[in-house]
Structure formats: structure tokens, C-alpha cells
Amino acid sequence: MKLSTTAWSFPQLSLKEITGILKVLGINSVDIGLFYNSALDKNRLLNDAKRYAQELLNLDIDFANLYYLFGDGLAERNLADGKSLKENIEDFKKLMQFLKTAKIPSVMLLPGVLNKGQSRQDALKETVISLKKLLPIANDNGIILTIEPHVHSYLESPSLVLELLSQVPVKLTLDYAHFVALGYRQEEIDELAKYAAHVHLRQARAGSLQAKLEQGTINFPAVLAKLKEHNYKGYLSIEYVHQDYMNTLYDDVLTETVKMRDLLRQFL
């Protein structure tokens, strides 16, 4: 298991500034995405992939995962919207060159939201159709495709996640916090650990997606032991954030990142 931190944890910093801080902290990997001051240029990801990837490699840090959205925001061109599939396939094929050149082992997509008139089962069916088209593209290019079940998606219960996984062999970016915030017990979430290819870590409790390490209910040694039980060898990415989403504005991100780093180091 290797340590990483999400670039979107530090919304006011550039990617170069973030990588500098992480190196000081002894964290040699970063998850990158399309948000805040560290946001990647989506047009260059798709249309100037080789040159753009080479520029990022000059930062001299490993990229653990790319968090990618097909549209602008969580709803536009989401995986549960079948109308977007052809467009999404075309962009996903273009994205592969960037991922390979930048040596990024995995990409994270979101499962989708409830589009107009959909039930959760309707949305799941559409997502399965999308993933069955996208997964072979990733596999053929040696990239691990993951999805992250999250609050406000349609995929908000461990049982529904398992139903999706029974229909398409995609991997997970697993964040216990999303399920804990919705009231699920840690033992229920443990059923998903065997499917994880990337992991986000932050403390949480029922009703709160993020909490200070000492004020939440996630038993992290138990999480890490469960991952070890399943021979997990991927990244453990610390994801404390400062954003309006789910009222995650009130924690000292740097302090909580360091405390989580120390907890992980002690276990590892």
C-alpha cells in the first residue's frame, strides 16, 4: 500500500504548489482532477495528451489516480444518462493516451445520478451499459477503471453497489466516509473492500461526510486490516477537503492530512 493525497484537498493551491507540500510531508503521490486551482485542462487531456502529460511529469511526483468527469459537473454526461454514451466513449478513448504517458495507473469515474424519470434500478442498468463499453477500452490500454459510489449519486448503498458489480467487473474507488455518512455500519461497507483498486481515506460519522480524526466513527486500523486481508496493494489517498459539498468547510485540511498520514505510517 502506498500513500497519496487528493489535489482537490487544497483548492487555493496550484498543482506545483501541492506537489511541493506533499514532498515535504513525505507523500510522493497525488490524485489529480478537474477542480480548483490545480485543475487539469480537459481540452489538453483529450487533444494534446502526450505533450501535456510530459509537462506534468516534470513535477517529479507520481500520479496515483485521475478523477475524470465527462461533462461540466456531476450530472452532465453522467454514466447513467444513456444519451451521452457515444460522446463519452469517444472522449474516453482519447483520454487513454494521457493516462499512459503520465503513467497514471487508474482513472476514477462517478456512477451517475438519477436522471429525469429514472429509478435507482433504471440508473443502474444505464451505468452497466456504459461501463461494459468503457471497461474494455481501459483494459486494452492497461488502465484500471474505477467508480466511486458517493452521496447524492443513485449508488448510495453497499447492496446496490454489489448488484452493479455482479453485472460488470469494474473496480471501486472506495471511500468508507460516503457510506458512514449515510448511516451504514462499517461491517456492511467491508463487503466492498475486495473490489477496491483505489481508496480514499478521511474520518466521518453518521450525517457528516467529514470529521476530525478523533471525532468520527471509522475504525481505520480495521479498514486497513480488511484491505490487507484482500491483499490490497494500491494507493491509500488521504482526502480531507475544504468545499461547500456536504458542509466540509470546517476542518484544518493540512492538520488532518498529517494526522492521517501518521496513522497510516504506523499501520504500514
Whether residue 247 is predicted with pLDDT greater than 90 in this model: the reply is: no
For the chain, give every domain's residue range.
Answer: 2-267
Beta bridge partners of 68: none
Residue 116, pLDDT score? 95
Residue range 127-180, pLDDT digits in tens = 999 999 999 999 999 999 999 999 999 999 999 999 999 999 999 999 999 999
The CA distance from 217 to 196, in Å, is 21
End-to-end distance of the chain based on CA atoms, in angstroms? 8
Whether residue 181 is predicted with pLDDT greater than 90 in this model: the reply is: yes
Residue range 39-93, pLDDT digits in tens = 999 999 999 999 999 999 999 999 999 999 999 999 999 999 999 999 999 999 9
Please report which confidence band the pLDDT of residue 254 belongs to, taking 50, 70 and 90 as the band edges. Answer: very high
Whether residue 253 is predicted with pLDDT greater than 90 in this model: the reply is: yes
The CA distance from 133 to 138, in Å, is 10
Phi, then psi, of 179 in degrees rounded to 5: -75, -40
Phi, then psi, of 47 in degrees rounded to 5: -120, -5
Q: Are strands 208-211 and 203-205 parallel, antiparallel or unpaired?
A: antiparallel
Residue linked to cell 502529460: 53
Residue 245, pLDDT score? 84
Residue 255, pLDDT score? 98
Cβ atoms of 234 and 196 closer than 8 Å: yes
Residue 249, pLDDT score? 87
The CA distance from 192 to 247, in Å, is 26
Residue 231, pLDDT score? 97
Please report which confidence band the pLDDT of residue 235 belongs to, taking 50, 70 and 90 as the band edges. Answer: very high
Residue range 199-227, pLDDT digits in tens = 999 999 999 999 999 999 999 999 999 99
Please report which confidence band the pLDDT of residue 246 belongs to, taking 50, 70 and 90 as the band edges. Answer: confident
Q: Does domain 2-267 have CATH number 3.10.450.240?
A: no
Cβ atoms of 60 and 15 closer than 8 Å: no
Whether residue 244 is predicted with pLDDT greater than 90 in this model: the reply is: no
Beta bridge partners of 32: 66
Phi, then psi, of 44 in degrees rounded to 5: -70, -35
Cβ atoms of 164 and 123 closer than 8 Å: no
Query: Residue-wise over 167-180: b if at least 16 C-beta within 10 A, else e?
Result: ebebbbbbbbbbbb
Whether residue 32 is predicted with pLDDT greater than 90 in this model: the reply is: yes
Beta bridge partners of 95: none
Residue 70, pLDDT score? 98
